[in-house]
Amino acid sequence: MGTTTCNGSVDGSTVFYLVGIPSLPESFFLPVFFIFLLFYLLILLGNALILVTVVAEPSLHKPMYFFLINLSTLDILFTTTTVPKMLSLFLLGDHFLSFPACLLQMYLFQSFTCSEAFILVVMAYDRYVAICRPLHYPVHMTPQTNAALAACAWFIALLLPIPAVVKTSQMAYNNIAHIYHCFCDHLALVQASCSDTLPQTLMGFCIAMVVSFLPLLLVLLSYAHILASVLCISSREGRSKAFSTCGSHLLVVGTY
């Protein structure tokens, strides 16, 4: 991918044009708007109910549900970063987004994505300690430890996308750059540039691998130890009870 002729600059004067869903006729914009709106409202309602339930019910004030609150909060922030602009695009035809707003959306989208992945790893570790080291659980998973683990997941996720955002902001764009997506995704921004896209594509790929496969590997490793411990339990009732404590987390991981 080589450099192409570009009449834009890197001073932030670029305006991005969000194409939306490529090849989708405008006559379908309104039905798509209602579909996205429905899912967005369901996401907000579902996660708000989780937050209220966990906070209001003392019996749920446990590490697993503390991390679930973090996950629900992230899910609300994650979707709110992109969906309102998408709804505006499909309902009002509002395709334009300023340079700073587009980069901010990209940064927040990547940060919240990373945070969700890291919180899932922390939840897997919580289940590992609960099942494989039950006597050590009250010592290891104290409220202070839980808060520190969650804070680390958020903090690392906020730092990780910064290099990609900075490098993307330094690329050259036309005065009006077309993004063939519904929001400012990293790869879509890179492809809209008229600079050499290969270095940024590789950087984005590396970050995606770290965020996707490293957490997945850690989750699988935790559950391999959990499975080995559960199979050592002699009673069927004990195995069933141990697996039931992992059900909600496995459902969240599978959905993610």
For the purposes of burial, counting CB atoms within 10 Å of the CB of 119, is it exposed (0-12), middle (13-18) or buried (19 or more)?
Answer: buried
Is it the case that residue 141 has pLDDT exceeding 50? yes
Is 80 a residue whose pLDDT tops 70? yes
CATH architecture of the domain formed by 15-255: Up-down Bundle (1.20)
pTM equals 0.84
For residue 45, name the pLDDT band (cuts at 50, 70, 90).
very high
Closest to 109 (Cα-Cα) out of 144, 129, 79: 79
Domain ranges for the chain: 15-255
Report the relative pairing of strands 176-179 and 15-18 from DSSP bridges: parallel
**Per-residue confidence (pLDDT) for residue 3, from 0 to 100:** 42
Query: Tens of pLDDT along 157-213?
Result: 999 889 888 988 888 888 888 888 888 888 888 888 888 878 888 888 888 888 888
Q: How confident is the model at residue 12 (pLDDT cuts 50, 70, 90)?
A: low
Q: What percent of the chain has pLDDT over 90?
A: 25
Pair of tokens at residue 128: 């590992």
